[in-house]
Amino acid sequence: MYTPPIDDIRFCLNHVAGLSEIATLPAFQDVSAELADAILEEAGKLAADVIAPLNHESDKSSSIRHEDGSVQTPAGFKDAYKAMGEGGWTAMDAEEAWGGQNMPMILSAGVNELWQSASLSFALCHLLTQGQIYALQKSASDAQKAKFLPPMVEGRWTGTMNLTEPQAGTDLAAIKTKAVPNGDHYLISGQKIYITYGEHDMAENIIHLVLARLPDAPEGVKGISVFIVPKYLVNDDGTLGEQNDVKCLSIEKKLGIKGSPTAVLQYGETGGAVGYLVGEEHKGLDIMFGMMNHARFEVGLQGLAIAERGYQQAVDYAQTRTQGTPLERPPKTPIAHHPDVLRLLSIMRSEIEAMRALVLVGGAALDRSHHASAEQAAAEDRRASLLIPIIKGWLTERSVMLTSDAVQVHGGMGFIEETGAAQHYRDSRILPIYEGTTAIQANDLVFRKTLRDGGAGIEALLAEIRQDMSDIDACWAEPVLQAANSAEHSLKQLLAMANNSRSAAVNGVDWLMQLGTLCGGWMMAKSAQAAKTLSDAGEGNPEFLKAKLVTASIYMQQVLPRVGTYAAQIGCHDNAVLHMEPDWLRR
């Protein structure tokens, strides 16, 4: 069973992330708290009643590839995606010109959490389609937008992102897929792997966004272009023509997200798949990174979502399971009263609430970066760019540990697939890997977002955190200020490593996790102050607000001290890891 956390999303939107401020932007002046409430309530019904019941069964049945290359998704997926389209949910944040509703990302992020919690495997299709819509709105020609965007916005077609090849994972410079000019289009040939929803039965057409090289392309990443390659060719009147020369060779057998088909796609097996250049030649990586940046934000959100789903299942189990007698409690008291189980669940809740607030603050920064005045938009773009690797890295890494804790709460029953707790743990494990591993996010954070500007962006973030703490009660503000001082000390140490890239890189993940933990404390301090203000005014649900104050204190006591641990690790001037010879690692 899944209960959408509408109350906490609403609280974060209105009292932490600043929905009312986003609603002052010209693009979003029709967005009110009342409208957001209505959207969340309806989305919650679809997530809980239609999508969530598919999750466990889809893990057992998986998607199935047939001999002709077609792929059958688990029972219920096709109808659920149709319901999303018919309900307008696939159109939320697309531009109105293409049939979208132009909702702000701060709100669509709240709704997307519900889809991802309900079923990570199912909701991946929507996530990738959203990302492609975003990329095409930004970079495609008007004719391409008119042809390909409306059906994706309506939910009739879906989208994919095709980067990885057998020899080219993180190293995109090694891409070999070819694109040969042929009149008004190109002929694409090559193989792509790990293509999420690369083939399925949930839509009339699948629009692949494919990285490939032109015959005269220079070596390296500067020689990559990006192409629209539809599964079915599209006639000028919008009807579908013959199938393109793209075939699903297989779908992967995976540790988790088993309901989602992860395809190996072959382009050009019988002459070349018809593709259409997006933007300029050799500028494909810049365009695709726009989609990847969006996807990285959404994958961070997935970390929050799967942690919430695992947490809810653990709470439900702990509130009903009796085993032993908790200290100072009567016999037959549920295990939720055992101090250590209470510890696990309480810390899980505090981290999840911090994660949620940070995601929505990141969504607000993205909204302002796209729609505020030019000067403010530039500053917000820098802030969003800084937050995205933190959101992607910190939330996904913590999701693995939090879903592991959910298994721990179940005890031996958590290790048994029947309960479903193990599925959330398995599903979470891909999140620190795809759309750029945690190490890639850390390198981005260290080299592009910290060292490149001499730490100016980090200093601005720390200044904002300190400014916010000036209006917050000391019991929450002081721990955050101490953590900010630790982060500033780490920043100085990293800047001193600027001429030693290996030293900077080996500390990258610790730096990312340190900043993520600090930002979580920032969010919880703001949340606590807002909850206290509402409580003092006699507004809101008293029990919800009391719980919010307690979870904030738990974060300060149990989670925020990790900032000091990361600082100590970064502070090792002669990091022993760099003295390890790879050959010594063998047994």
Residues 6+ apart with CB under 8 A from 374: none
Query: Buried b / exposed e across 458-483, counting CB within 10 Å, b at 16+?
Result: beebbeebbebbeebeeebbebbbbb
- Kindly state the percentage of the chain with pLDDT values over 90: 94
Among 4, 103, 92, which residue's Cα sits nearest to residue 46?
4
pLDDT given at position 266: 98
pLDDT given at position 525: 98
* Helix and strand totals (H; E) in the chain: 19, 12
pLDDT tens per residue across span 369-422: 999 998 899 999 999 999 999 999 999 999 999 999 999 999 999 999 999 999
For residue 451, count other CB atoms closer than 10 A to its CB: 19
CB 548 within 8 A of CB 470: no
Which positions are catalytic?
435
Distances (CA, A) of 494 to 230, 390, 487: 46, 17, 10
pLDDT tens per residue across span 555-583: 999 999 999 999 999 998 889 999 999 99
With vertex at residue 364, the alpha carbon angle to CA 476 and CA 23, rounded to the nearest 5 degrees, is 110
Residues 6+ apart with CB under 8 A from 462: 484, 487, 488, 491
Can you tell me whether residue 232 is helix, strand or coil?
A: strand
- Kindly state the percentage of the chain with pLDDT values over 70: 100
The DSSP letter of residue 98 is G
In angstroms, the CA 557 to CA 555 distance is 5
Can you tell me whether residue 223 is helix, strand or coil?
A: helix
Maximal C-alpha separation, the chain: 80
In angstroms, the CA 267 to CA 190 distance is 5
Average pLDDT estimate for 514-542: 98
pLDDT tens per residue across span 240-290: 999 999 999 999 999 999 999 999 999 999 999 999 999 999 999 888 877
Among 429, 192, 166, 446, which residue's Cα sits nearest to residue 299?
429
With vertex at residue 576, the alpha carbon angle to CA 571 and CA 580, rounded to the nearest 5 degrees, is 150
Phi, then psi, of 340 in degrees rounded to 5: -75, -35
Residue 296 has pLDDT above 80, yes or no: yes
C-alpha torsion 187→193→198→199, nearest 10? 100
> Which residue stretches of 16-163 are H helix?
19-22, 33-46, 55-61, 77-86, 105-118, 120-139, 142-154
Query: Buried b / exposed e across 89-105, counting CB within 10 Å, b at 16+?
Result: bbbbbbbeebbbbbbbb
Local confidence band at 291 (pLDDT 50, 70, 90 cut-offs): confident
Among 130, 465, 164, which residue's Cα sits nearest to residue 301?
130
Residues in the chain: 587
Local confidence band at 168 (pLDDT 50, 70, 90 cut-offs): confident
> Which residue stretches of 321-418 are H helix?
339-371, 374-410
pLDDT tens per residue across span 97-121: 999 999 999 999 999 999 999 999 9
DSSP H or E run through 291: helix 284-320
In angstroms, the CA 544 to CA 41 distance is 18
In angstroms, the CA 4 to CA 262 distance is 27
pLDDT given at position 95: 96
pLDDT given at position 493: 97
pTM of the model: 0.97
| Domain segments of the chain as ranges | 439-575
pLDDT given at position 288: 80
In angstroms, the CA 573 to CA 533 distance is 44
Phi, then psi, of 435 in degrees rounded to 5: 60, 35
pLDDT tens per residue across span 8-50: 999 999 999 999 999 999 999 999 999 999 999 999 999 999 9
CB 313 within 8 A of CB 4: no
